[in-house]
Structure 1
Amino acid sequence: MTHPSILVVDDEPDLRTLMDRILKRRGYDVRTAAGVEEARAALDAYAEPPDLVITDISMPDGRGLDLAEEVHKRYAGEVDVIFVSGYNRDRAVAEGLIHADSNLLEKPFNPSQLAETVEAALRVH
């Protein structure tokens, strides 16, 4: 049995490393990227689509929303995306950083919150 694969995209190295460790401890196959361009290269390197993408909403080389839309187009909506942000949902939606129905995990979050959000997203697909 293969473990669900997750691509974590965040320009903050400490947070990216933390999410990587938390998810690997829970048995997920995790790859990381420091931004949108690295994420595109990582997606190209997958033999099969990842099961989930977790992305920051704002990075120096692009927006998480643009990456999410690319993921949805590339995989015909079969790969879910979770956004992580210091913004709360209302502000992120108001500023056009996410859609109202997007999965959002607000920073700071604890390991259990990350795991629960991931498990919920994977159950949907």
Structure 2
Amino acid sequence: MTMTRRTTLATALATGLGLVLATPALAHHGWAWTTGGNIVLTGIIRSVSLGNPHGVLEVDAEGELWTVEVGQPWRNARAGLVDGDLAEGVEVTIEGEPSADPDERLMKAERITIAGKVYELYPARS
């Protein structure tokens, strides 16, 4: 096998392996794991981790701790959220899609309301 052919084969194998390893991450970061219907959750933010691939809030809603995925930094900024809006101790109302697994307290936020102001992370999808 020539060096060029080995390099081409190695590149193809590495690319294929990368796609296989990325598939679970892509599936999680879509909407397939949600119910497809929205719920409204009101509670107090207990912890915040903002960044890529998306931010995550832990929200205490009536004694139940929910994990809430919010947008990527650019999506949060586009919605009008600024540093400090999503902070520990802040009361939030979140509308979004919960996990299809009823045993998980996990949801993907579409809109967040803080002190009466609504932030649209994912404007209406058609």
Name the TM tier (shorter chain): under 0.3
Higher strand share: 2
Greater gyration radius: 2
| TM-score, normalising length: structure 2 | 0.24
Higher helix share: 1
